[in-house]
Structure 1
Amino acid sequence: MRLLLIEDEAPLRLTLARQLEADGYRVDQANDGEDGLFQAREYPVDLAIVDLGLPKRSGLSVVEQLRADGRTLPILILTARGSWQDKVTGLEAGADDYLVKPFEYPELAARVKALLRRSLKATSDVLTLGPLAIDFSAQSAKLHGEPLDLTAFEYRVLEFLVRERARVVTKQELADYLYPHDEDRDSNVLEVLIGRLRRKLDADGTLAPIETLRGRGYRLTLQ
């Protein structure tokens, strides 16, 4: 899963990013509201963690603008303001949950996990699609009950296709999801990853789990 952390307090932002990455998330960072809004608009993000007290553009404004854009990603707001009015204001702007500073990391981690699970419309960390079971918490998958031996990048490709299974995913979207936005992308590498993932999901060629739509992208066919 790819998270966007928008927080202007550098020590807190860097600490949270390290902790979230240790839990297996990809974390993009922004230290002001303008950059945070730009990243949320330009790159595929599964969940945003937004501090309310941001420079250049307030966290509240970021949330309001994302919702006005029609973006439905889960948003967890961080606030140093503990009054119920501030919490209600954040939630009414479109946030899904909030945490009041200071907080302990396990609480944030639990909120993130719950919001991601809700966004996937899953009642647990494991989602089953036909013979495939993907465990978002453990970042692993099983096929017909047997563990799949996936590399980190293969898992990320599978996870993204599962999450976006209702539509066609373009190569550009997959590249944006897999790599930091300032890193060179190679479409050949992406095609190799898709090929390897296909073989691991469908060794005998009977399942056809990933459909290629020429000129458009890829779609997971499992339901």
Structure 2
Amino acid sequence: MSVPVLLVVEDDRALSAMLAELFEGEGYRVDTVYDGQQGMHRGLTGGYDAIIVDRGLPVMDGADLVALLRSKGVTTPALILTARGSVEDRVEGLDAGAQDYLLKPFEVPELLARVRALLRRIDNAATVVVAGPLRLDRVTRRVSGETPDRAEVELSEREAALLGTLMAAPKRVFSRAQLLASVFDGAESAGAVDLYVHYLRRKLGKQVIRTVHGTGYRFGME
């Protein structure tokens, strides 16, 4: 049996070192990084069995990190650690795509039990995202459901990436900067986001993406 590999994304270096020592004592392999951008790069390339991520990270919020990984098709189970205990914060973290949410300070036996539960999760729908009446297959880039003419619609790679980002967290409002980093790897101007929103609305109807004035965009067909 292979040894589980965990990614810990935590900017508090003392806590990060403690977590690494704790998990290694359980027989896991552990990689640690200290901000959201590093977490995204590792999450995309590392092949981890579970991700433990702090909510209040530099560069990128932990919930944003999870949402961006989900938009890229990364289904690695994620546990958010945070000092933010409101219902709204917990809902936001879970809506972003995390499987679990644990408040600081936490009891070590509970943390370990929750990580064991993450490692038991099996996701058989890694290539498919469903939100509202739409179903997007990230591999074929085809959208089915409540589309014009009730027919499957084939998207370009970037159209599928943008729609997948919004569908993976359908209640979340994404800024143009967040979408630019997720879909276009920050390589284009913010106008590219507006252009591809236009393309998607032309193919799937104006209601597919909702503009949140002064903020950005969200999925519009809940």
Q: What TM-score comes out, normalization by structure 2 length?
A: 0.53
Q: What is the aligned counterpart of 2:20 among 11, 17, 20?
A: 17
CA RMSD of aligned residues (A): 1.2
Match of 1:28 in 2: 31
Q: Specify the SS of the correspondent of 1:28.
A: strand
Letter in 1 for 2:15: L
Cα offsets for 1:86-136 (capped at 9, x unmatched): 000000000000100000111110000011112389xxxxxxxxxxxxxxx
Q: Give distance in 2, aligned partners of 1:119 and 1:12.
A: 28
Is structure 2 residue 50 aligned with structure 1 residue 41?
no
Kept in 1, the 8 Å contact 2:75–2:123? The answer is no
Match of 1:84 in 2: 87
Match of 1:109 in 2: 112
Cα offsets for 1:121-164 (capped at 9, x unmatched): 9xxxxxxxxxxxxxxxxxxxxxxxxxxxxxxxxxxxxxxxxxxx
Is structure 2 residue 10 aligned with structure 1 residue 3?
no
Q: Give distance in 2, aligned partners of 1:65 and 1:120.
A: 18
> Stretches of 4+ moved more than 6 A in 1?
none
Q: Specify the SS of the correspondent of 1:119.
A: coil
Q: Give distance in 2, aligned partners of 1:120 and 1:95.
A: 13
Unaligned runs of 5+ in 2: 125-222
Match of 2:136 in 1: none
Unaligned runs of 5+ in 1: 122-223
How far off its partner does 1:57 sit? Answer: 1.1
Match of 2:57 in 1: 54
Letter in 1 for 2:78: I
Q: Give distance in 1, aligned partners of 2:59 and 2:121.
A: 31
Q: Give distance in 2, aligned partners of 1:82 and 1:19.
A: 24
Kept in 1, the 8 Å contact 2:11–2:57? The answer is yes
Summarize the Cα distance change of 1:118–1:98 in structure 2 as closer, same or farther, 3 Å threshold.
same
Is structure 2 residue 67 aligned with structure 1 residue 64?
yes
Q: Give distance in 1, aligned partners of 2:121 and 2:37.
A: 27
Q: Specify the SS of the correspondent of 2:7.
A: strand
Q: What TM-score comes out, normalization by structure 1 length?
A: 0.53
Among all aligned residue pairs of Structure 1 and Structure 2, give the percentage whose two residues are the same amino acid: 52
Cα offsets for 1:55-77 (capped at 9, x unmatched): 01111110010000011110000
Q: Give distance in 2, aligned partners of 1:116 and 1:15.
A: 20
Match of 2:161 in 1: none
